[in-house]
Chains A and B, each alone.
Chain A
Amino acid sequence: MSAAARAWAAAAAVPDPEVPCVTVADLGILREVRIEDGVAVACVSPTYSGCPATAMIEMGIETALRGAGFEVRIERVLSPAWTTDWITAEGREKLRAYGIAPPEGPAGKRALFADPVVACPRCGATATRKISEFGSTACKAQYACTACGEPFDYFKCI
């Protein structure tokens, strides 16, 4: 395995600190890992401007790469901005299995006051309602399923 591939594998396996069922690669926030003059350079895009996990994620990636024997530099990449479109199919499935409804559809421009149809991650019913636009972390909203009665987190589509 090349050094770049080894570095990618080490960084890509780092779990998100707030949603540990998915890795930084699943979420699409690890953009690239390249080797420059023997240093592993990991490019990371934050999810939200003020996401408190950003620093922890960068530290986690740095720790993983050092553990794999690399010197490390983290680059924070703001442009292009991260979008939920970058969450992999596998990542979406992991979210659903974990009890978090993955973002619905592509992140386009929404109508000002229209809500997406969100399927319950527990029973699959689409008879759900939004409880709050904001949830336990910046990236989630709170929903409840009117079929099975379970409240759940919805990973907002942005």
Chain B
Amino acid sequence: MAEQALTGGSDPHPALFDAVLELADDHLILGHRLSEWCGHAPMLEEDLALPNMALDLIGTARTLYDYAARQEGKGRGEDDLAFLRVEREYRNLLICERPNGDFAQTMLRQLYFAAVMEPYWAAAVDSPDAVIRGVAGKAVKEMAYHVRHAGEWVIRLGDGTDESAARMRAAVAELHRFTGELFEESTASAALVEGGVLPARGDLRGPWDRVIGMVFAEAGLEVPEVPFPQTGGRRGLHGEALGHLLAEMQYLQRAYPGATW
């Protein structure tokens, strides 16, 4: 993206780089996870749908990385940020890096993420930051599609056969513990929320609960108690899964530094 006319706020916040990087990491890592389904989905329509959704996320990530890199002003570009950082430097939410598991887990993970990002971007369309506003305007519509698509699958599987319902219940048991982190503010994002640049994550709890409640009610699923919520992604504390993902995603830049096409 050599020629981009994206202009940021007139007065860049010192925490902007970190806060934008967090968002970019969420989108790249989940986008990469979805792309792993390409060629492996259980049916042709899903083989089209999942990479399409991955593209939405990776497209959003690219714009955010480009913006973060320019805020940083150290000569790094979007590719450097995506391909030349190690696990501890990644700031993504833990749920984004969770392995695809089966189709139930992939769709539930997508619903959990999209149901928080749709109201997030909806609130961000009024941001005083032009890049955030621009990204939000596109992403809010795309997230609405993701909520819808993933929500339909959660309902279909949860309210399906004994086998599909058992798998969906297992997915809830596996993934729900990562959802508390969706509503946590990092030091960087808290600073920008205070300045009105980014939406407050705490405000997203209500809309998220409503969508999940509605989908779960139709799917015959119960929202579980979470005795041990998992968190740490924003501080670079990740599960083993992220290292394996990065090993594959970053292979080319590590093996052939600076390669382009």
- Chain A interfacial positions (CB closer than 8 Å to B): 43, 46, 48-52, 58, 73-82, 107, 110, 112-113, 131-136, 138, 142, 156, 158
**Contact among B52, B137, B151 for A134, CB-based, below 8 A:** B52
**Chain B residues within 8 Å of A76, by CB:** 1, 3-6
Q: How long is the Cα–Cα vector from A138 to B29 in the complex, in angstroms?
A: 19
- Chain B interfacial positions (CB closer than 8 Å to A): 1, 3-6, 31, 45, 48-49, 52-60, 62-63, 130-131, 133-135, 137-139, 141-142, 144-145, 147-149, 151-152, 211, 214
A-B contact pairs, 20 of them (CB 8 A): A46-B59, A48-B55, A48-B138, A49-B138, A50-B54, A50-B56, A50-B60, A52-B55, A58-B3, A75-B3, A75-B5, A78-B137, A80-B137, A81-B137, A82-B138, A112-B151, A133-B49, A134-B45, A138-B52, A158-B145
Q: How many cross-chain pairs have Cβ atoms below 8 Å apart between A and B? A: 98
B137–A49 CB distance below 8 A: no
Known contacts being A78-B6, A134-B45, is A51 close to B55, with CB within 8 Å? yes
Q: How long is the Cα–Cα vector from A51 to B57 in the complex, in angstroms?
A: 11
Q: How long is the Cα–Cα vector from A80 to B135 in the complex, in angstroms?
A: 10
A49–B59 CB distance below 8 A: yes
Q: How long is the Cα–Cα vector from A156 to B56 in the complex, in angstroms?
A: 14
**Chain A residues within 8 Å of B31, by CB:** 50
Q: Is the interface of B mostly helix, strand, loop or mixed?
A: helix
Residue of B nearest to A81 (CB): B137
- Give the shortest distance, in Å, between A45 (CB) and chain B (any CB): 9
**Chain A residues within 8 Å of B60, by CB:** 49-50
Residue of A nearest to B5 (CB): A75
**Chain A residues within 8 Å of B137, by CB:** 78-81
Q: How long is the Cα–Cα vector from A76 to B48 in the complex, in angstroms?
A: 27
**Chain A residues within 8 Å of B57, by CB:** 49-50
**Chain A residues within 8 Å of B135, by CB:** 49, 78
**Contact among A46, A107, A136 for B48, CB-based, below 8 A:** A136
B58–A50 CB distance below 8 A: yes
Q: How long is the Cα–Cα vector from A134 to B153 in the complex, in angstroms?
A: 14
Q: How long is the Cα–Cα vector from A135 to B48 in the complex, in angstroms?
A: 6
Q: How long is the Cα–Cα vector from A148 to B229 in the complex, in angstroms?
A: 53
What would 15 more interface pairs be, CB under 8 Å, given A78-B134, A158-B142? A48-B59, A49-B56, A50-B62, A78-B6, A78-B131, A78-B135, A79-B137, A81-B138, A110-B144, A113-B152, A132-B49, A133-B148, A134-B45, A134-B53, A158-B141
Known contacts being A76-B1, A78-B6, is A134 close to B49, with CB within 8 Å? yes
**Contact among A43, A133, A135 for B145, CB-based, below 8 A:** A133
Residue of B nearest to A51 (CB): B59
